[in-house]
Amino acid sequence: MNAVPDNLPGRDVAGLLAEQETKSLLKFLTCGSVDDGKSTLIGRLLYDAKQVFDDQFAAVARDSRRFGTVGEEVDLALLLDGLEAEREQGITIDVAHRYFTTAKRKFIVADTPGHEQYTRNMATGASTSDLAVILVDARAGLVTQTRRHAYIVSTLGIRHVVLAVNKIDLVDFSGERFEEISTAFAAFTRDFGFSSVQAIPVSARYGDNVSARSARIDWYDGPTLIEHLESVDVRSSTAAKPFRMSVQWVNRPNLDFRGFSGTIASGRIRPGEPIVVAKSGKTAKVARIVTYDGDLEEAEAGEAVTLTLDEEIDISRGDLLADPKARPTVDDGFVAKLVWMAEEPLTGGRALLVKCGAKTVAATVAAVRHDIDVESLAERPSRQLALNAVARVELRLAEAIAFDPYDEDRETGAFVLIDRLTNATVAAGMIEAGLGRATNVHRQATKVTREVRASQKGQRPKVVWFTGLSGAGKSTIADLTEQKLVAAGRHTYLLDGDNLRHALNRDLGFSDRDRAENIRRVAEVAKLMADAGLIVLVSFISPFRAERAAARATIGEADFVEVFVDTPLEVCEARDAKGLYARARAGEIANFTGLTSPYEPPERPDLRIEGARVDAEAAAEAVVAAILGASEDWSI
């Protein structure tokens, strides 16, 4: 066996290379339940395409006697199972990528694990594939993992699917069994939005209908697997979509050159055309499209380029450049479908990192809306997600980012979640929509920035968030803190919960939903005031950790100082300056925090004040010291 054509020495090498360059490339993955024959199928494809070197085949033949599962035959699955653990267990654990070529096309195939515990590896392989080959054991038919993989494949935007009904030899090449399985799969995936679904009966072990048509399956008149893979049209229209490019690197080799490097995600761009920095709203025109091989007159989706502009505007790594007439969404939160990949369950309020394109920002899981039953596709209310769960969640970000819905652009609509402590990827997500209701509203660039306003006031803006039970002393301490800051020449504003309930939030009650909206509005106002250069003091009970975490994400980690006025309930109730506890005890006030509604104390506040022991004056001094000590000098 040989990995190159036997007649290569007699051929024109330059012509052969040119021929290879003109072939189209298909990236596909194989998936399905464990033992459905994924590795064997790919091994068969490589073998039939003459992509196995003699020494490789000899090694596999030797290993087949030790690890093989097909008796005295050569176990082609071992061509893919590269880890010792995989060979010993007879399963695929990691994602194995292989390259092969035929006379008509080039291929990159990802062999993904079938075991449920390795679903995250399968999602990784699917994220870069154009087509999925979903294998089904003809004896077992559709199983839960098959349905899970089909759903994830559709969620990740793959629109072309092959249903390979494998091991057809073990059901006596039954056409009735094939029809039963293919009909059930078509019914299950009816609403998945696939552009093409081709069902093919195969025997990967013996090669039936893989590369050659099988005489034992004469009732089937469709294409073989390789015929379909060579002919299926998976070309996307990314070049016809609006221009998008995430800046991966600001290229500044010398004082005379400043370019912005990245791979174009969608659309086309030419010198002289305008672009906008999606987040800031600043615009400029493209001066040059620079590549290693020289300047281009036009570049399109998939090309790595460096753009220079006709004027200097602020652009950083992670910024998304876009068509000014078709801008992406810019929001500090979004709703997304999520595949959870960590052993530790995901719960609402968890702080993580979101990486979307080249941009990484802090984020909080504001809510787990529901998870999805992969058997029935029903949506179920859920408070936490277990390993491999597929769900719809709501994320709040520390700062706004630019994105598109995933079904419009796979490049700008995909993200991963990263654990902030271990730096491990714990989830893959697909953005459905931003949290803002007005999708046609985009940020207007202004010349006077937050930094200018802060410089004018000679201070660094901050939001100091006081939390604690009613009667804990928050408002008193916040008021004294403001007085001391003003006396020190600082520019401040105090937002008090009761005061805002009479104005901005007068339409809100005290249900959990209204409390969350109360905090959301206050966080947005506080952020605006911080953008104006102020030190903002916020005094709110804010009883739930998830809402406080969302406020921190809205305002930004660097600008948020959480002060927990930790006063025991009995002390707060003894003070009862407004008579609220007495009324709540009498049943006159519903959902009263500390009595009939819970208070979740901060786990790691920036400053904790023992309200029963420290008097308000000393507490305010401590807060001022903590604020002014948060950096070397707040004065700019």
Contact 537, 482 (CB under 8 A): yes
599, two tokens: 């208070």
pLDDT band at 14 (very low <50, low <70, confident <90, very high): low
Place of tokens 């390993």: 387
Task: Work out the average pLDDT over 416-437.
Answer: 84
Q: What burial class does residue 291 get, using C-beta atoms within 10 Å of its C-beta: 0-12 exposed, 13-18 middle, 19+ buried?
A: middle
207, two tokens: 């090669």
**pLDDT higher than 70, residue 245:** yes
Which of these, 501, 472, 465, lies nearest to 578 by C-alpha position? 472
Active site residue 203: no
Task: Determine the Cα–Cα distance for residues 619 and 44; give it in Å rounded to an integer.
Answer: 74
Task: Work out the average pLDDT over 350-355.
Answer: 87
244, two tokens: 């998008």
pLDDT tens for each residue of 569-626: 999 988 887 788 888 888 888 888 888 888 999 988 989 999 989 999 999 998 998 8
Task: Work out the average pLDDT over 180-202.
Answer: 91
pLDDT band at 628 (very low <50, low <70, confident <90, very high): confident
Residue 45 Cα to chain centre, angstroms: 33
List helix spans (H) across 214-372.
Answer: 225-231
Q: What is the pLDDT of residue 631?
A: 40
pLDDT tens for each residue of 112-145: 664 455 455 566 666 677 898 999 999 999 988 8
152, two tokens: 């994830």
Q: What is the pLDDT of residue 126?
A: 66
Q: What is the pLDDT of residue 54?
A: 54
Which of these, 279, 283, 375, lies nearest to 318 by C-alpha position? 279
Q: What is the pLDDT of residue 51?
A: 60
pLDDT tens for each residue of 266-295: 899 999 999 999 988 889 999 999 998 899
DSSP string, 44-112: HHHHHTT---HHHHHHHHHHHHHH-SSTTS--GGGGT--SHHHHHHTS--S-EEEEEE-SSEEEEEEE-
Amino acid at 606: D
Q: What is the pLDDT of residue 89?
A: 38
| Class at the top of the CATH hierarchy for domain 238-322 | mainly beta
Q: What is the pLDDT of residue 60?
A: 56
Of the listed ranges 173-177, 183-187, 389-393, 576-580, the least confidently predicted one is 576-580
Same fold, 238-322 and 331-434: yes
pLDDT band at 74 (very low <50, low <70, confident <90, very high): low
Select the more confidently predicted residue: 632 or 581. Answer: 581
pLDDT band at 323 (very low <50, low <70, confident <90, very high): very high
pLDDT tens for each residue of 75-98: 555 555 443 333 333 333 345 677
What spatial distance separates the first Cα and last Cα of the chain, rounded to whole Å?
Answer: 73
**pLDDT higher than 70, residue 506:** yes
The segment with the largest mean pLDDT, out of 47-51, 97-101, 196-200, is 196-200
Which of these, 636, 199, 329, lies nearest to 458 by C-alpha position? 636
Residues pairing with 537 in the sheet: 464, 494
Task: Work out the average pLDDT over 535-550.
Answer: 88
Task: Work out the average pLDDT over 522-534.
Answer: 92
- H or E element: which one contains 346? strand 346-347
pLDDT band at 47 (very low <50, low <70, confident <90, very high): confident
pLDDT tens for each residue of 395-423: 988 888 999 998 888 888 888 899 888 88
Task: Work out the average pLDDT over 166-190.
Answer: 93
DSSP 242: P
In the chain, domain spans: 8-231, 238-322, 331-434, 450-628
Which one of 3.40.50.1980, 3.40.50.300, 3.50.50.60, 2.40.50.840 gives the CATH number of domain 8-231? 3.40.50.300
Q: What is the pLDDT of residue 268?
A: 92
Q: What is the pLDDT of residue 86?
A: 36
* Fold type of domain 450-628: Rossmann fold (3.40.50)
Of the listed ranges 38-42, 529-533, 597-601, 607-611, the least confidently predicted one is 38-42
Q: What is the pLDDT of residue 420?
A: 84
Return the CATH superfamily for domain 331-434.
Translation factors (2.40.30.10)
Task: Work out the average pLDDT over 358-381.
Answer: 82
Share of the chain above pLDDT 70, in %: 83
Q: What is the pLDDT of residue 505?
A: 81
Rg, C-alpha atoms of the chain: 30
Which of these, 344, 385, 343, lies nearest to 368 by C-alpha position? 385
DSSP 439: T
Q: Which of 542, 597, 631, 635 is catalytic?
A: 542
Which of these, 307, 3, 337, lies nearest to 192 by C-alpha position? 337
